[in-house]
Structure 1
């Protein structure tokens, strides 16, 4: 088949996250099975207008705000009869393909945005987006969906998407071998995009409380901010809390460095507002590192509460900090959680996930 992927970011975008990794892994697998793929994504500083990555032909246009309309116009002008299947990927907004595309469509969604509208946009756009989102999703009532978790499936069902149209295919995980060992003193890790919806500010406040119990401990922060203003704010927050000697900002890290940090860390602190899946929790589990986070959609799918990590029922940094402290002090419980986390991570592989998605698209 000739397949068109519509996704706001591609794998080389500096702001690419777990959703972009998943999209690219599935695309690579489909290409290996003989399918042909073109992906339309937004442009970014230094990005080429077009390039081929692992066989995926990527065309970039527009920016973060204009890409959706540019992609729709490009499709209508050039591609109306060129593809057998469109992957319409949801990130806040989809591409409204049921309104104009005459070919097969697969909706691909990691999470329903819900409260994420309020952490990513200002009033009144956030309120409008929040109110319109269910109505927009219902435009896809007769379209099949690929989702990454039961949490997302439940959200879609509550909005009105028939259960029979929703297919859960969890993300896989690509593990890089690390020769590191757990640090002799507690090391904690925040891993992900430095943005309000990922809970980075809560992570810093949580660590400030943990540090009172473990004054020699360290917090590593791996990930990049969307702009220098927010990065500067986070550094000033660390300074204001008198944590500068204990907190290290690594910025964007290589895969090897990421897994070294995961291996060395005692706990992954994961105070995100909402996730579709929580890929970093599985990556942490593969290194015997429990995750402590809020009990949110997505994370409750990738973390087995009290087995591979701890999920705190309310979004309270004090409670998250105390749960982390209690886990570290209970050495027997921590050791059991390390082992269970490693076992749990082995349930997930891209080979398994791609086989499932390949079967899905070929049956549409």
Structure 2
């Protein structure tokens, strides 16, 4: 049986402000669309974006900006549901929920990457942060009896802590596209190259890595840091680099396109992720697929995507000395680095978007059929 699926996500894959949640949704649902199912996606508008277009088989319908999109979703849903019969609605819950159980009549599945909790205070103003926190506190009450999909074991445990039973939670892991992320032999930089790959957001704590670099270059003067990604915190990070007199050691590259990113990930000797919280850590597996180990904070999501001592190292979040020590340990020990590179490559091979899409489709079928 072929289904008509409505996917609601704040942003779509074409939005330059998108991140791992958008990649996760697009990679899974373009495969579901490729199997003959009709997938319609609601997302917010962004500059120069058409109100409607089809991307990889997904019909993307946009309305409202980021600040008002959630308020426009109920009316957009009602209009669409009058025009056509929907079989199921997928609510990609991220930051401020859409509260779809309050107005959606069809079977419903929610996707949860992670709940920000107090980490949102690292990103935005007190007023905006508490707006997000209030929205998250309503999730257990409003979504408690709906089927939820978590992207990691950490997220499942967090939902448990918020009072949602395991009986209502499935886990669908992120995948990897081996045609986008792969090993390029002979591409490692001749000098020790530390990398950051991902969005440049305040809450990601990239400043920890920059401060750690100051400690690293005292021991390894030819080490360098390459920061690959885009985001609204880049100027602040550049100012910090200047303040710490690290300009000769740091380079920023504004791209997130896999065609370019794969080259940089292959050049890096080690990637660092100092975030206090992730849903899973998709960029970790993308780095691993390029044969690059990762040093990450021992925080939610990252402790799922990094196998400590096998694909990289975990360190206590916020401990800049330990972060620097782990980086130095990897780039100064060739035998250890090669072991971690092999472990990273083998770990990445375990993840497949095809498998993730198949698991999601199985959940959709069960929910639609009431089983």
**TM-score over 0.5 for the alignment?**
yes
Equivalent in 183, 192, 213 of residue 189 of structure 2: 183
Shift, 1:253, TM fit: 4.0
Partner of 2:259: 256
Say yes or no: does 1:280 pair with 2:280: no
Say yes or no: does 1:35 pair with 2:23: no
For the 8 Å contact 1:29–1:358, the answer to whether it is kept is no
Secondary structure at 1:326's aligned position in 2? Answer: helix
Partner of 1:45: 47
Change (3 A) 1:75 1:297: same
Q: Distance in 2 between matches of 1:116 and 1:48?
A: 33
What are the equivalent positions in structure 2 for 1:326-345 lying under 5 Å apart?
Answer: 326-345=329-348
Partner of 2:218: 212
Partner of 1:87: 90
For the 8 Å contact 2:43–2:61, the answer to whether it is kept is yes
For the 8 Å contact 1:171–1:348, the answer to whether it is kept is yes
For the 8 Å contact 2:276–2:317, the answer to whether it is kept is no
Change (3 A) 1:362 1:180: farther
Unpaired runs of at least 5, structure 2: none
Equivalent in 258, 268, 272 of residue 271 of structure 2: 268
What CA RMSD, in Å, does the superposition of the two structures yield over aligned residues? 1.6
Q: Distance in 1 between matches of 2:155 and 2:256?
A: 29
Shift, 1:123, TM fit: 1.4
Partner of 1:358: 361
Secondary structure at 1:272's aligned position in 2? Answer: coil
Shift, 1:76, TM fit: 2.6
Partner of 2:113: 110
* TM-score where L is the length of structure 1: 0.95
Please, which moves more after superposition, 1-10 or 212-221? 212-221
Partner of 1:310: 313
Cα offsets for 1:64-106 (capped at 9, x unmatched): 1111011122113442563111111111122111111111000
Q: Distance in 1 between matches of 2:306 and 2:25?
A: 22
Partner of 2:228: 222
Please, which moves more after superposition, 153-162 or 195-204? 195-204
Please, which moves more after superposition, 80-89 or 65-74? 80-89
Cα offsets for 1:206-229 (capped at 9, x unmatched): 222212222112111111123xxx
Q: Distance in 2 between matches of 1:327 and 1:26?
A: 34
Change (3 A) 1:7 1:54: same
Partner of 2:4: 2
Secondary structure at 1:14's aligned position in 2? Answer: coil
Secondary structure at 1:319's aligned position in 2? Answer: helix
Please, which moves more after superposition, 103-112 or 248-257? 248-257
Partner of 1:26: 28
Shift, 1:128, TM fit: 4.7
Partner of 1:240: 243
Secondary structure at 1:115's aligned position in 2? Answer: helix
Q: Distance in 2 between matches of 1:128 and 1:183?
A: 44
Cα offsets for 1:117-158 (capped at 9, x unmatched): 212331133235325523333311110011110000000111
Say yes or no: does 1:154 pair with 2:157: yes
Unpaired runs of at least 5, structure 1: none
* TM-score where L is the length of structure 2: 0.93
Q: Distance in 2 between matches of 1:306 and 1:234?
A: 29
Q: Distance in 2 between matches of 1:300 and 1:231?
A: 26
Q: Distance in 2 between matches of 1:128 and 1:71?
A: 18
Please, which moves more after superposition, 138-147 or 238-247? 238-247
Paired residue total:
361
For the 8 Å contact 2:120–2:203, the answer to whether it is kept is no
Q: Distance in 2 between matches of 1:132 and 1:235?
A: 33
For the 8 Å contact 1:138–1:159, the answer to whether it is kept is no
